[in-house]
């Protein structure tokens, strides 16, 4: 059974959704077992994120769908696919609310 896509405002977040970094947003992993720094130039804000969020940002940069990003998490962390999808939907919702990523058509 396929999970029902989450909706944020007018944006449905399902496994086929692709995202992009918002304009002026960059990120830099600080090294193995270190957080990643996310810089939002337009907002003048600096964020840090853990390995899972970093993996999602890399997947976004690689042009993957949310479902493909979930597959990477399954391979990397050995979590169940449904758990990976749910976590990424929640993460995508948070990153969109912070203005760090935008949905692609």
Q: What is the DSSP string of 9-24?
A: TTEEE-TT-BEEEPTT
Is 90 part of a structural domain of the chain?
yes
The answer as to whether 2 is a domain residue is no
Give the confidence band of 11 by pLDDT, cuts at 50, 70, 90.
Answer: confident
Count of CB atoms situated within 10 Å of the CB of 15: 18
Higher pLDDT, 41 or 3: 41
Q: What percent of the chain has pLDDT over 70?
A: 90
Q: Give domain status of residue 17, yes or no.
A: no
**Residue at 76 is within a domain:** yes
Cβ-Cβ contacts under 8 Å for 7 (sequence gap 6 or more): 13
Give me the mean pLDDT over the 63-89 stretch. 96
What is the span of the domain harbouring residue 64? 52-98
Average pLDDT value for the chain:
89
Examine the pLDDT at 6 and tell me if it is beyond 90.
Answer: no
pTM: 0.85
If DSSP codes are grouped into helix, strand and coil, which group holds residue 57?
helix
Residue 103 placed within a domain: no
Q: How many domains does the chain have?
A: 1
């Amino acid at each position: 059974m396929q999970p029902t896509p989450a909706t944020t405002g007018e944006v449905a977040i399902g496994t086929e959704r692709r995202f992009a970094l918002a304009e002026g947003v960059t990120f830099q992993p600080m090294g193995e077992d270190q957080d990643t720094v996310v810089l939002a130039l337009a907002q003048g804000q600096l964020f840090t994120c853990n390995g899972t969020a970093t993996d999602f940002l890399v997947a976004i940069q690689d042009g993957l769908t949310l479902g493909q990003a979930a597959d990477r998490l399954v391979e990397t962390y050995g979590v169940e696919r449904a758990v990976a999808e749910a976590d990424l939907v929640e993460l995508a919702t948070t990153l969109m609310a912070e203005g760090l990523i935008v949905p692609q058509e």
